[in-house]
Structure 1
């Protein structure tokens, strides 16, 4: 309780330090297998971790590295649109420009996970036909097993990396928004502060910024839905033929009928 929260004599200002994390300096194989976390996990197994034992964040993941880039994107968008007001659309554009590389990375991992998850169902018919063959080809059996194992391995790795990158993206967005809101709160006039309570600002920081940061978990679902439907239809068509198209048409008609029935019930209740 007697120690100061910030020791300026021993720790320099964050703005003056350029750090690189263990993840940034790790090699390709270390990043794929997450072995770059091995030394930290081994140290945590042997003793309780202190603050000095935790490696520093990279500049791209820290607040003092994200906020200036986020502010510059907002200023450039404001200069392009010739409007100084920060609207919701402008804020979304600035967030996308700040984190577009991670968005592309998560999109690639999400697509790879989706494709590899359909390899197993697609190979079921080949496995059944191979087992029913009387003179079985050993080479074909090994190829089928190898394809299935590789697909499952790729699905597992892509799922883990999608989870890790999505958390990294969410932390960047969350940190940038909280820093901007905090700096804006410090710059507010006393007259404006009287019109809004401190609870509203706390709600924005704790709830709204967190919801925006967690949006990255579902932002790829919109464009992945047609991909999933297409892959499912390819598997069904290879097995059922034209009957798969009839099943798809029946499913669409059922969904439209349920949508029309639900909307009509809601309108009747309002009346």
Structure 2
């Protein structure tokens, strides 16, 4: 964050612009409904609202693309930096340190850990923008349906409480996946380093079976992680919440 704080602030501004323009959609739709009912404030209000809707949707799309692009670019820089630092550190390891850190573990640092650190810039903005998005949604609902917004607030609180055990289960599956990846990478590295010994004693079939079993365990853990992610996206996805909110004006009319 200290190295890329300027880029993080710029991407955060684009994220804020995206959330702000997204919240104008339901308001403009509600204004269109009032015009259709004959409650126009002035003569060409419909044309003005159409222009505003066009501008807001273009700004929403452009800001979202800039947010995603800049966040992924920062993550790519961080992953490259960490990979170079790990490689440089590996070249200076002593023989005793090499016994404590195997090649599989070091490869796991590069392929898994550095990747997850690189994902931090995107999820950093995703966290606080989601909170602002929920606040905007509650304000729009309060303005539209009044005290009935309390029911939606209760639902949001219940969803957050119900998400806690699912998040713990997802963390459990992710930890198992990390262990499975470490075991597979360590075994593959040992087999490649000692390939002459494997060929000499004809142990290729045995080690192939061991690696395939480890790969099957990793595949099962990965399937569990992806299923938990799918459940989380299906049950608590905010995109579905906003699509319902955008059609709220049509439902009320």
1:106-121 map, 5 Å: 106-121=11-26
Report the secondary structure of 2:116's partner residue: helix
What CA deviation, in whole Å up to 9, does each residue of 1:229-255 have, x standing for no partner?
1110121112111221x2244325634
What CA deviation, in whole Å up to 9, does each residue of 1:74-108 have, x standing for no partner?
xxxxxxxxxxxxxxxxxxxxxx1101111111111
Counterpart Cα distance in 2 of 1:187 and 1:101: 33
Aligned to 1:139: 44
Q: Aligned pairs, how many?
A: 167
Q: Which moved more, 1:214-223 or 1:154-163?
A: 214-223
Aligned to 1:214: 119
8 Å Cα contact 2:15/2:64 also seen in 1: yes
Q: CA RMSD in A?
A: 2.4
Counterpart Cα distance in 2 of 1:194 and 1:182: 17
Aligned to 1:8: none
Report the alpha carbon displacement of residue 175 of structure 1 after superposing the two structures with TM. 1.0
Give the TM-score taking structure 2 as reference length. 0.60
Query: Aligned in 2, Cα 1:202/1:149: closer, same or farther, shift over 3 Å?
Result: same
Aligned to 1:172: 77
Report the alpha carbon displacement of residue 215 of structure 1 after superposing the two structures with TM. 2.2
Which has the larger share of helix?
2
Give the TM-score taking structure 1 as reference length. 0.56
Counterpart Cα distance in 2 of 1:211 and 1:158: 24
Counterpart Cα distance in 1 of 2:104 and 2:39: 74
Counterpart Cα distance in 1 of 2:95 and 2:156: 57
Between the two structures, name the one with larger relative contact order (CA 8 Å, sep ≥ 6).
2
Counterpart Cα distance in 1 of 2:113 and 2:59: 35
Which of 122, 125, 129 matches 2:30?
125
What are the ranges of 5 or more consecutive residues in structure 2 without an aligned counterpart?
A: 170-253
Counterpart Cα distance in 2 of 1:212 and 1:259: 23
Counterpart Cα distance in 2 of 1:257 and 1:161: 33
Counterpart Cα distance in 2 of 1:257 and 1:176: 38
Say whether residues 1:203 and 2:108 are aligned partners. yes
Counterpart Cα distance in 2 of 1:192 and 1:170: 29
Query: Aligned in 2, Cα 1:239/1:175: closer, same or farther, shift over 3 Å?
Result: same
Counterpart Cα distance in 1 of 2:132 and 2:110: 36
Counterpart Cα distance in 2 of 1:181 and 1:257: 39
Say whether residues 1:251 and 2:151 are aligned partners. no
What are the ranges of 5 or more consecutive residues in structure 1 without an aligned counterpart?
A: 1-95, 267-271
What CA deviation, in whole Å up to 9, does each residue of 1:188-220 have, x standing for no partner?
112211232111111111111111112222111
